[in-house]
Structure formats: structure tokens, C-alpha cells
Amino acid sequence: MKEFILPLKDLVVQPGLTVPIYLDNQISVACMDAAAAGSRQVILAPQHKWNYPTNPEEIYDTGTLADVIQILRLPDNSIHTIVQTKAAVRISDISVENGLFSGTPTEILILDDSEFEQTIALREKVAEELSELALPRKLRLDKLNAIINNYPMPAFVDAVVQITNMETAAAVKILAAKTYREKLMLVLEQIGMMTEIAKIDASISKRVQQQMEGGHRNAVLQEKLKAIQKELGEDSDEMDSESLKRRIENSEMPKDAKEKAMSEWRRMRGHNAMSTEGAVLKTYLDELLSMPWNKSDKSKIDLTAARKELDAEHSGMQPVKERILEHIAVMRKTGNTAGSILCLVGAPGVGKTSLGKSVAKALGRKYHRISLGGVSDEAHFRGHRKTYIGSQPGRLMDALKRCGANNPVIVLDEIDKLGRDHRGDPESALLEVLDPEQNKTFRDHYLEVDFDLGNVMFIATANTLNMSPALKDRMEIIEIPGYCEDEKLAIAKEHLIARAARDAGWNARNIKITDDALRHIIRNYTAEQGVRELQRSLTALLRRELLNNNGEDKATKFDAKKIDNLLRARKSAGISKRIGFNAGIRV
């Protein structure tokens, strides 16, 4: 009678054992399901190749017949199964249908001679040789002693086969042996061969070690590895080097950058791949190739869509939005970003940074923000020389690499908070970046080649005009005034209530708040020019009501009285907490 065959990679199991098997190959899972639905027997058969077999010739004709005891199905459609092996079998009439193998098993009768003196002596000899063999470190000595002293004969043979990681062909030969004496003889033969190989390896290693001196060790090992790889046709260093050369030749770098890259590639070829200099040059070439030399976002500029985007994201600010649209119109007409650099100046919370994000969205370009607060090192913009340990390109080149395009919108946030110390003057580096006549040949210290920043749209933001005259001269200052009460009211209705509902987990439709209630919050709980404090007050209001309703966002009408009760109760709770905390310290 035919039984289903489960092909196994590098696993030969002896009969008389309970074996857990994990299967994540869906064909193997289907095979086990079919076996469980039928006779609940399956043949465990090793395979000749690593990939799942496709024809009968790829499966050994010797395997182990097993009963399917349990199948545990996991969420990822893999299974853990437990089988009880019964007998070693010869497999004939192997066929395959829909990827599932089946065959007729014929039992190989094994004579149980485990209690014979010769067999016991052979077991002791195997145990002795096993103790001397250089086994994997993860096999502890106490586990090895347990295997030697306590395992029954089938489990002993199987354990020795597994822990010595025998070749599949040798393990199949042991499985087919008809007596335990014969099995142990074959095991002993394999262990003896492994021991001799280990001795030869140790002798070679010792001789090589004696011939090495100091710094020559790594070089000798690399040369040996190269020689072995060439013999096997797997010279990975050579392949990587040639692949890098092809990438340079096929790249869209300008002529001078490509010449620089080829020059550095030839230098890299002269160094060992594992040397510090070789690794530095390899990293440099990878950085050079990752730059978007000729990659641009090709979105067509649509002034109507840009106006809609700015109006949808920002209420009021008409003069500011009109000036930005003028800039976009010039870009649409001329096809480039050359022109004045916009600098948005205003109090915190008036929407300077979010305007830059909206401009990028309106143009269909990538967006990246660089925070300049507290930056006092010129290398932040120009990068470090690649000869330094841990050197890397500056933040501008890194931003372009992350965007994957040479024409993103880059917001230089808080440009008025640049620092200056002994490490250099980052403001001077920015003067070149923000000058349309100079930034076409911007040179990063790490890349050491010119990069054209003329396609990048720079938008700076600042809280004050506390900047050097030279820096202000490079930019067109657009002052964003603080919002009046009516503008704050409109912003709250159009944007802030929905955002507060999202932050506090509310359904926005359950929030009923009148214009008078919003004005009450604006007049009595905020005093800033922007809207961040208004945003925080609305979120705090919803959080407090959520607490009062035991975590439920019921439909609620917020009037002036309710707002005062909620926000004052929250402040009182905060004051009480602080008083209690301080009292605890005094005690």
C-alpha cells in the first residue's frame, strides 16, 4: 500500500523515536495533512538536493516509516507535528502528483542485538571516540554523558548521527543497516574519519600560525581566502569590485565626479578589502553613487492646485500665500528654482514649518526639514573629510540622498538660532547654499566634488530677525503676523478641533462647540500670537471630559461655563498634585 512521502533536508531519523518536526513549506504541510487524513502514516525520506524535490530521482530510496501523532497549526500556516518512527523502509514505485510524493514502503528488518557483548563494546568505543572529537561548543559535557550512559540504542545511534552532523549519504547507509552492530561499525568509521580530518586541520592551522608574524596574519588569511575562492570560481571581492566599476560607468554622474570615482576605485583596487583604507574608499564610492545626480521629480506645476492646497491647509495668511504662489508661478514659467530664497519670520505656532510642507505637496516634490537650532559646527553642512574616522557627508547631501531627487523642498528651520564656536561658523556655509549664483557648485568636504543645488527650493524659517546682515541679504523676508481673534476662530473650526479630537480619541461629530465658546477659550486661556496653546487647550478640554465620562466620548455641548469647569478643575488637580508632591519632600 502506498504512503505519502515527506522529503527532509539533511535529516535522517532512526526508528523507535518520537520526533518533533516543524514545517513551513506549504507543499510539506499539504503532504502531512494528506497523511493525517488517510492512514496517519508518513514516510520520512531524505533528499539529495537542498531545494524541495521535483522528481523521484531527487529522493533517497531509503527512509523511515512513522505514525502521525499530533499536528499543531500555527497562525502563519506553518505546522508543528510530532511523529513516532516505526521502521526503516525501502521505498519503491515513487511517484509525484501535485507536488506530493508517494511510494510503497518495504520494512527493513533489524535484528535487535543491542545486548550482545560485541555490540556493547562497540557502543563504548563510539562513546570514547565521541568524547575526543571536537564537537560544537553548544553541546555541553553533561548532555554528552547523558547520551552516552542513558540513551537506548536507537536514540543513541540517532543522537550520534545528529550531533556529528554526518553527511546524508552516510546517515542513510547507517539507517539501512540490519543490526545495531553494523550500525555502530558504520558510525565508528564516520567518527574516525572526522577525527582524522580534525587532526589535519589542527596541524595545518598550527603550521600557518607559526609562520605568521604580527600584522601579516590578516593578509595571509585574506590571500588564502582569495586563492580558495578563485579555485571555486567564487572570488567575491573581485566580483564586488567589478560590479562597483560597472555601477560607476553606468551612473549619471557629471564628468568630473565620474573621473573622481574611477580614480578612487583604482586606489581601492590596490588595497586589501579588509583594510581600513579599502573600507573607507568602498564606503566613499557607495555614498557617491547613492547621490541623485540626475534624478528629479517631474511633476507638472499647477497653480490652481497649488492655491487649493495652501488654502486647504492654512487659513488666512493671504499675503504670505500670494507671495509663495508668485514664487511658484516664476518656477512654472522659467522651469527652475533660481531666484530669491524665502524666509518666513513669525512667532512660534503661526504655521511657518507646515507652510514649507504644503509647498512641497503643492509642487509634487519630496520634502525634508533640517533643524538648525543650536548647530554650531560647519561640518553639519559641509561634511567631514573622508580621512577622519566616522566621517560622513553633510546634512544637505544626506537630505538629497534620503529624498532620492535633486529638486526637493528643503526647510531650514530656525535659521535665527544658529550657533558659532571654535569648530567653525555654520552661517558662512549657509551663505553659499542660499546664494543662487554660488550653490550650483556646492562642494561637500566628504564627497569632494561639486553638486548642483540650483534645483533645490530652500525655505527658511525664523522667530526673529536676529541674523547677520549678510544672511538676511541672501533671503527675501516674509513676516507672518500673529493671528487675530477671528483668524484663530476660523483655524480652530477648520483644523484644530479635528486635530484635538484625533489626539484625544474622540469622534469629531460628538463635539458640539459654538463660536462664542471658542472665543471664550481664546480670550481667557491663550495669550500667544500662534495657535499652539489654543490647540493644547482644546485637547486638554477633551481629555478632561473623557475622564469625567469614564473614557467614553459621548455627544457633548461645550459652552463657556462647562469649559471653565473642565479647565479649572484640571488646573486645580495639577496644583493639588504639586502641593502634595512638595509636602512629601518636606516630610
User: Please, which residues bridge with residue 65 across strands?
Assistant: 43, 87
This prediction's pTM: 0.53
Q: What is the pLDDT of residues 80-125, one digit of tens each?
A: 999 999 999 999 999 988 889 999 999 998 888 888 888 888 888 8
| Calpha distance 383→399 (Å, rounded) | 12
The residues, ordered by sequence, that sit 6+ positions from 25 with a Cβ below 8 Å of its Cβ are: 52
CA distance readout (Å), 183 to 62, 115, 188, 320:
15, 14, 9, 88
Q: State the pLDDT at residue 139.
A: 53
Nearest one of 569, 554, 570, 483 to 518, comparing CA atoms = 483
Q: State the pLDDT at residue 569.
A: 63
| Calpha distance 350→30 (Å, rounded) | 62
Residue type, position 492, single letter: A
> What is the CB neighbour count within 10 angstroms for residue 546?
17
Least confident of 17-21, 88-92, 133-137: 133-137
Q: What is the pLDDT of residues 208-250, one digit of tens each?
A: 676 655 556 666 666 676 667 566 655 455 556 778 888 888 8
| Helix residue spans in 212-317 (DSSP H) | 216-232, 236-250, 255-269, 276-290, 303-313
430 within 8 A of 412, measured Cβ to Cβ: yes
> What is the CB neighbour count within 10 angstroms for residue 29?
17
Least confident of 162-166, 217-221, 470-474, 579-583: 579-583
Binning the chain into helix, strand and coil, the percentages to the nearest 5 are: 50, 15, 30
Q: State the pLDDT at residue 162.
A: 81
| Calpha distance 233→96 (Å, rounded) | 35
User: Please, which residues bridge with residue 23 across strands?
Assistant: 79
The residues, ordered by sequence, that sit 6+ positions from 31 with a Cβ below 8 Å of its Cβ are: 4, 5, 6, 42, 100, 101
Average pLDDT over residues 380-396: 82
